[in-house]
Structure formats: C-alpha cells, structure tokens
Amino acid sequence: MTMSVIITTKVSGDTNAFTKALEERADEFRAWGERGKAAGALHHQFAIGDGFVLVVDEWESVDAFQNFFGDSEIQAFIGSVGGDPNVAPVATVGESVDSSDKF
C-alpha cells in the first residue's frame, strides 16, 4: 500500500497582502482548493509566520504535488496574493506514517 506524503511549503512574501487576499479573493482560494483535490491533495491549510506563508498539505504522491504546484497558473496566483517571485518556495516532503498518538 502506498502511503501519502506530507508536504510543507514555505513561501516568502507579503503576509499582509496574503491575509487580505484570503478574505477578498476567497472564491479563488476555494477554486484552487477544488483543483488541488482533483489533482490528488488530501488535506490543506495555511499558517502565517514572519514574512512567510507556510502551506501544510497531504498529497496522494509527490508527483501529484509537483504537477499541481509546478503549474504556471498556480505560480502566477501565488505571486498575485503576496508571494515573493524572487525567492523560491522551499518544500519539505515526508512519507505519512501512522502512529498510536495520531489525531
């Protein structure tokens, strides 16, 4: 049985612009969420840090994530909601495992 992968992606940028976009462009975020689900995303959420947005996802596979995240349309969207186009996002990938304390 193939396990899913947990992927965190740190995107540098303007977190104020991002926070504003979450509210003002909610329909676009929902549409991207649906596209992600169709492409193999299982879980998704954001966290905001000092000068960055952390994306925490679970995907069916690394390939599914890379195909989705590498699309020029999602890259343009990220830039339009505050992502810094001069700083490459940093993705960390791990295979999801079950444990007795998982919730």
The number of helices, as runs of H, and strands, as runs of E, in the chain is: 4, 4
The answer to whether position 103 is within a domain reads no
Q: What is the pLDDT of residue 23?
A: 97
The answer to whether position 69 is within a domain reads yes
The answer to whether position 12 is within a domain reads yes
The answer to whether position 101 is within a domain reads no
CATH of the domain at 65: 3.30.70.100
Q: How many CA atoms lie within 13 A of 6 on its CB side?
A: 8
pLDDT along the chain (103 residues), means of 10: 90 98 98 98 98 98 96 96 96 95 91
* Residue 73 neighbours by CB distance under 10 Å: 10
Domain hosting residue 69, numbered range: 5-95
Count: domains in the chain: 1
Q: What is the pLDDT of residue 3?
A: 86
